[in-house]
Amino acid sequence: MLKKVTKNSLASILLCGMVGAASAQSYPTKTITIVVPFPPGGTTDVLARAVAQKLGPVLGQSVIVDNKPGAGATLGAGLVAKSNPDGYTLFMGAVHHTIAPSVYKTLPYSFEKDFAPITTVALVPNIMVVSASSPYKNVKEVIAAAKAKPDELSYGSNGNGTAQHMIGTQFQMITGTKLLHVPYKGSAPLTTDLLGGQVTMSFDTITPVLPFIRENKLRPLAVTTAKRSSTLPGVPTLAEAGVPGINIGTWFGLLAPAATPKEVTAKLNAEVVKIIKSAEFQKQMFDIGAEPVGNTQAQMAKQIADETAKFSEVAKAANISIQ
């Protein structure tokens, strides 16, 4: 009897393995959707569309982008976490999702437990910018004005609990200033108000503001990473501008629901990394101010764990909490 059970169990394991391998070989057989938790036009959207455009022909199926903005990028994440884990609903996540667990009191998902990392697509430096018509020519002038007029100068972000929110919070803590935080649903509406003078500054990623910097409609003051941007090498870091201690850039990466077959996520990793490493994609990323990555699933998982721990400390120090 025991031998029979053992044989049956072994047969079941082998069958499951064969089914998994078969599903990976036949995958995909229909359209794949990449959910973006921001409106069209922002960096997350631009990167998702860049990947989708190249991934579709490689896999032989359409890959489309579905924008689901709201709640500091957590709305779209929640929808994907609860979706069918069959490899046909993917998520373009970002550093924001490693911040959310520390600032939102309740979330309908766990970013570390409910998602399977595929690969980090790119890292994009954040940049402090003001309108070209702004009186502020450098970071020191902004700090002086903010100290003279507490809560009058404002900065926009892509929502509560996003990287821009964290940068703005750290900036105030280090400089001893008080700024008014204005959260938006994404980069497009934020940039519109920034150009129109409705907000004083932003700490957005380079991608959505780069065209306006090149057209001299926005003035870059400093990047928020430890080293200068290769796209805008003439712009100093915040540390060089007199504000040490801030080193935050925004990474963007592809994920799937946690229970997605490992063979499928491995196949997606292999194909997406090939795309990221291609000369054409690398140039495309450089042109929009992004630094292509293309790492392993394990490396992305470690990145998520490390950043979640880091931002937990930042959120505690700043006493940030969102209902």
Domains 30-123+249-318 and 127-223 share a fold: yes
Whether pLDDT at 22 is above 60: no
Report the pLDDT value the prediction gives residue 323, as an integer from 0 to 100: 64
More confident residue, 101 or 314: 101
* Candidate from 12-21, 104-113, 160-169, 243-252 with smallest mean pLDDT: 12-21
Say if CB 138 and CB 221 are below 8 A apart.
yes
CATH 3.40.190.150 fits 30-123+249-318, yes or no: yes
Cα 146 from Cα 187, distance rounded (Å):
23
For 64-75, what is the mean pLDDT? Answer: 91
Phi, psi of 183 (to 5 degrees): -80, 140
The residue that leads in pLDDT, 52 or 187, is: 52
Average pLDDT, the chain: 91
Residue 56's pLDDT band, with cuts at 50, 70 and 90, is very high
N- to C-terminal Cα separation, the chain: 57
pLDDT confidence tier of residue 6, bands split at 50, 70 and 90: low
Structural domain spans, the chain: 30-123+249-318, 127-223
The percentage of the chain sitting over the pLDDT mark of 70, rounded to a whole number, equals: 92
Asked whether residue 24 carries a pLDDT value surpassing 90, the answer given is: no
Q: Residue 70: pLDDT above 90?
A: no
Structural tokens at position 139: 């970071």
Segments in 244-296 forming alpha helices (H) = 262-277, 279-287
Gap between the Cα atoms of 46 and 72, Å rounded: 18
Q: How confident is the model at residue 9 (pLDDT cuts 50, 70, 90)?
A: low
- Is the pLDDT score of 18 beyond 50? no
When pLDDT is averaged across residues 129-152 and rounded to a whole number, the result is: 97
For the domain made up of 127-223, the CATH class stated in words is: alpha beta
What's the DSSP call for residue 245? T
Q: Is residue 14 predicted with pLDDT exceeding 60?
A: no
Model confidence, pTM = 0.82
Supply the pLDDT for residue 4: 47
Region class of 71: left (phi > 0), else alpha (psi between -120 and 50), else beta: left
